[in-house]
Structure 1
Amino acid sequence: MSPMPWEIPSWVPENSQVASALLVLTSCVTSTTLGFDGSMMNGLNILPSYTDYFTLTTTTLALNTASVWMGSVLSVVYARVPDWIGRKWALFFGALLTIIGVIIQTGAQNIAMFVIARIIIGFGTGASSIAGPVYLAETLPVRYRAWGLGIFYDFWYVGGLIAAGVTYGTAKMDSTWAWRLPSLLQGLFSFMCIAILPFTPESPRWLVSQGRNDEALIALAKTNSNGKVDDALVLIQHREVTDTLRFEKTYESPSFFKQLTNSASTRKRVFLVSTVAVFCMLSGNNIVSYYFGTMLEQAGVTDSTTQLEINIILNAWCLVISIIGTMMSDKLGRKALAAISTALLTVFIFIVGALTKTYGNSTSHAGVYGTVASIFLFQGAYSFGWTPLTVLYPPEVLNYSIRSVGMAWYTFLVNGVGLMVTFSFPFALEAIGWKTYMINGAWDVLELVVVLVTWVETRGRTLEEIDENLDGVVHSDVPKLQTILGVPEAEREGIVNALEMSAKEVEARGTVTEVARD
């Protein structure tokens, strides 16, 4: 495969903190677009200029809103693209497709055109949701991985907050630009992604898989040691990556489905990824994300301006709480964070249901305020854990050979479930009202049990060290990264020399596993 012109160019920053920040920004624009979309549709569904223009019924309202999930489900065909052309180029084309969809949506003349546009947007954001987390997980240094992947979906609320403000401002317009302008601004984030990508390195794991080891070493140095390629931390990670990928190519089937059939650890990985996909969509958050206006009406808040104002405050609240959760992801660990978040949101969704039943459409101001407050607490509980974990945990538990396909499966499943709940919830809210929350709360209890029983911890480990914990096999004989971090820099030269000698031995005799078997 011929080298892509963007791999490790001279203008990629030498400063590792700057390089890492740019990496995070390239990928976070995906969730910003999704957050903007969710909040924008919330706002548009409240605006008479939008609902009247398309003469929406309950069915077409759900179709217009949920069609973005249809495109995201279809993006499963993008599964192998990041493996073929690299993580950066895969992210680039995802952003480009999103921009095309945004342009069509802005100019939509009827429901069919609007739905097609949103399917394209969904495909583009789905493709980016496959490539983005993989890119970040494989390229960010361990010390920033929890932050980088955790904040990935924290930016959902940045987009949501921007969209809530935009739709609030355009609501006063008399023309169709009241909904066309928010639609147009949705493409801004994808333009940002394309503008930043030239200044970031390619995934060192992907580069090693292509036999471009020197470029992989430079990529690791750019993000870990301010460009110093002979740093012990860089050399250890480079050896871990090369040894582990050599092991995977030698001992694992190249087919994802064969691995799934033959490997217990692969099945475990896919199961863990699937739990995140299902739980992050079915915890009840999608009711608030897309049909907040309906919830508020049932709670007794019927003024559209007031609904838009509450929507803005809600997104700001969720952004703050999700950042706090991201900060705690390394301190608490992934499993504890998920368990705490799920336990709290379960309590609060039951409270939302009870208060909606008791005070819905009533004249009791205290009841209305209590219902709105409980919605805020529910969304805060969800944001604390599930928002950062949404794309933090899946790429961590997937090993390299199935990471891209595994994230495609994750994206397919998360968007398939998202499509189902986004399309069905308006009918449920219309038919059974408060009982929807009670049913969802019972499901959330099951989620908590699954997390407590089946999840494994991943914090503080390189992706290769996580592989060892799931496989039960040591793929590389280099010291653990946490061990080296405790060694004074002056004493690392001996480690570097030992690594070089060990590398020559491994090269001469085969994989580390083969050496051990000899």
Structure 2
Amino acid sequence: MLQKSPTGTWLPAWVPQSTTTLAVLLVGCSVVQSTTGGYDGSMLNGLNILPSYTDYFRLNAATTGLNTGSVFIGGFFGPIFSGVIADRIGRRPAILWGSAITIIGIILQAAAQNIAMFVVARIILGFGSQISGIAAGVYLSETFPSRWRAWGVGLLNDFYYVGALIAAGITLGTGQWQSTWAWRAPSLFQAVFSILCIIILPFVPESPRWLVHEGHYEEARLVVAQTNANGDISNPIVLTVYKEIVDTLEWEKKEGRTMSPKEIFKTPVARKRLLVGMSAGPFSCVAGNIIASYYLGNELDTAGITDSNDQLKANVVLNVWCLGCALAGTHLAAKWGRKSTALLSEVLLVICLFIIGGLSKIYADDPDGASKSLIYGDVAVMFLFQGFYSIAWTPLLYLYPPEVMNYSIRANGLAFSSFMLNALACVLVFVMPIGLANIGWKMYMINGSWDIVIIVLIAVYWVETKGRTLEEIDAIFEGEKHSSVPDVEAVRKGEATVNLEELEQEVNKETAVKTE
């Protein structure tokens, strides 16, 4: 049964009373967001292999990089506006408008007549997907209960590989077509995921943190009840979570913290939270996966697999493998912790990159004399690399930043993280084919060296956020929790109790004063 849930915005919501059903819808909102990005990367991977695409645009190394990397130009500008939009108009409307812009870009991309039109379309696509993706990351981290947050938000990027797998399958099928629809059809199909997201939005509530900040207290309490206790507003977990949110946001307001983008640089604590949280974006970008994410064909060429059909099949297998690793990594992040999972992944990446570089050098020195075992061994380690990357960076890219950042900097901080990621990706996606063409195997060695530095930075500066609500993470950075209630998980597990009558009176008194 659906229950009307006030949202404080023009976009209404009719929410299932069942918390489990609502969680499924939130996951659905999450996965359709990530499939767009995954589909795009894998689709371009496939298109860069198709003669019908490369011949139509008469691509060389530079224009291939421009066509592929132009999505990151839009991704570069999207975060400049996304945080402000999500804070001002609400999380759900921001997701809606971002999805609509993405659909416009996709239609133009499928209809492209020349490189200029294709590039402009991908800039629009990247801009819209960044607005909706950042808003979704903030929205889901603020709406999912703490016990489900790792899975709920981790899946926001995990299903990147579902989109990638769908694109790999479609490009494999259309690759045999003898017309421009071999690449136009996969381009157009990309809009399906944004359309699904728009369909789901009327059936999920607004973020309870955003509602409290905007003064919609009863609405926020109802959302907390819907996401934690089947709509029971008197449940002890609901009261505990709700009071934590109200107390913490009231403390932030008393401290003079605003929603301005300048807030992310304003205080030493804000700067620390920003640097730790936003590091996930740049770290994931320079890890080395861009080579296989967008230029798998070039990478397989260096290993001796040059047949385009074999490369397309490898693209399909790669995405199945990466999806499994991403889901395993999300489980590790939930059970083992975010920091430990990131360290494990980075160590494995360094090992793989140096092995790939060494094997690729052997092949480059004597391509004609290279054995099949050498070629297959190189490809196997490439696949291992992508899976090991997926263990940490796929789920953590949107999970970790909003956890580390407090409410006043969360949207703009996640936007800044994505801004830095796209700024780096815009450069790296363009230079990778040039680098592979000129220095070949040495590109892997350079990436391996970067990753050693990343391991040290994570070990020294990252903090663990597992098992805490967003408000309880404040204690790590601020030195104290800004609410008198026990930790939510302690209440949930029966390790701590709350006096429901007293807590109800405190909540009613506080919200009554704030609404006067």
With the length of structure 1 as denominator, give the TM-score of the two structures.
0.94
Match of 2:199 in 1: 195
Verify the 8 A CA contact 1:240 1:464 in the aligned structure 2: yes
Cα deviation for residue 4 of structure 1 reads 2.3
> What is aligned with 1:485?
492
Pairwise CA distance, 1:252: 3.2
What do residues 124-172 of structure 1 show as CA deviations (whole Å, max 9, x unaligned)?
1111121010000000011110001111111010000000000000011
What is the CA deviation profile of residues 309-344 of structure 1, one whole-angstrom value per residue up to 9, with x for unaligned ones? 011000000000110111111211010000000000
Letter in 2 for 1:245: L
1:472 is displaced (CA, Å) by: 1.1
Superposition CA RMSD, Å: 1.8
Residue 256 of structure 1 deviates from its aligned partner by 4.6
Residue in 2 that maps onto 1:27: 30
Query: What is the rounded CA distance, in whole Å, between the counterparts of 1:350 and 1:40 in structure 2?
Result: 28
Alignment equivalent of 1:425, drawn from 423, 432, 447: 432
Equivalent pair of 2:305/2:311 in contact (CA under 8 Å): yes
Does residue 259 of structure 2 align to residue 252 of structure 1? no
Code of the aligned partner of 2:228: N
1:442 CA drift (Å): 0.4
How many pairs align? 505
Tell me the equivalent position of 1:286.
290
Q: CA deviation at 1:2?
A: 9.7
- Verify the 8 A CA contact 2:264 2:409 in the aligned structure 1: no
- What is the aligned partner in structure 2 of residue 207 from structure 1? 211
Structure 2 partner of 1:466: 473
Question: Letter of the aligned partner of 2:31 in structure 1?
Answer: C
Deviations 1:232-266 (A, max 9, x none): 11111111111111111110332656544542211
1-structure distance, mates of 2:264, 2:199: 38
Aligned pairs (5 A) from 1:163-312: 163-254=167-258, 256=260, 259-312=263-316
Q: Compute the displacement of 1:497 (Å).
A: 1.2
Corresponding residue of 2:11: 6
| Offset at residue 509 of structure 1 (A) | 9.1
Separation of aligned partners in 2, 1:294 and 1:212: 53
| Aligned position for 2:459 | 452
SS in 1 for 2:148: helix
Is contact 1:129-1:411 (8 Å) kept? no
Cα-to-partner distance string for 1:70-108 (whole Å, 9 max, x where unaligned) = 001111222211111110000000100000001101111
1:286-310 CA deviation, whole Å, 9 max, x = no partner? 1110011001011100100000001
1:121 to 112, 122, 125: 125
What CA distance in whole angstroms lies between the structure 2 residues aligned with 1:347 and 1:261?
36
Q: Any conservation in 2 of the 1:147–1:327 contact (CA below 8 Å)? A: yes
Equivalent position to 1:337, from 336, 341, 345: 341
What is the letter of the counterpart of residue 4 of structure 1? T
Q: Distance in 2 between matches of 1:300 and 1:203?
A: 51
Q: Classify 1:303/1:484 alpha carbon distance in 2 versus 1 (closer, same or farther; 3 Å).
A: same
User: Relative to structure 1, is the Cα distance of residues 508 and 190 closer, same or farther in structure 2, using a 3 angstrom cutoff?
Assistant: closer
Could you tell me how far 1:496 is from its partner in structure 2? Answer: 1.3
TM-score, with length taken from structure 2 = 0.95
Alignment match of 1:138 (pick from 125, 137, 142): 142
Distance 1:323 1:100 in 2: 31
Whole-angstrom distance in 2 between the partners of 1:197 and 1:387: 24
**Conserved? CA contact 2:261–2:409, under 8 Å:** no
Q: How does 1:105-120 map to 2 (within 5 A)?
A: 105-120=109-124
Q: Which amino acid aligns with 1:304?
A: S
What runs of 5+ residues in structure 1 fail to find an aligned partner? Answer: 511-518
Verify the 8 A CA contact 2:70 2:119 in the aligned structure 1: yes
Instruction: Point out the more displaced range, 71-80 or 189-198.
Output: 71-80
2:69 corresponds to which residue? 66
The Cα of 1:21 is off from its aligned counterpart by 1.6
- The superposition leaves residues 407-448 of structure 1 with CA deviations (integer Å, 9 ceiling, x where unpaired) of 111111111111111011111101100000001100100000
In 2, Cα distance between equivalents of 1:206 and 1:261: 21
Structure 2, gaps ≥5 residues long: 1-5
**Which one-letter code corresponds to 1:17 in the other structure?**
T
- C-alpha spacing 1:2/1:276, structure 2 compared with 1 (3 Å): closer
Maintained 8 Å contact 2:174/2:182: yes
**Residue 161 in 1 paired to residue 168 in 2?**
no
Q: Matched residue of 2:231: which SS?
A: coil
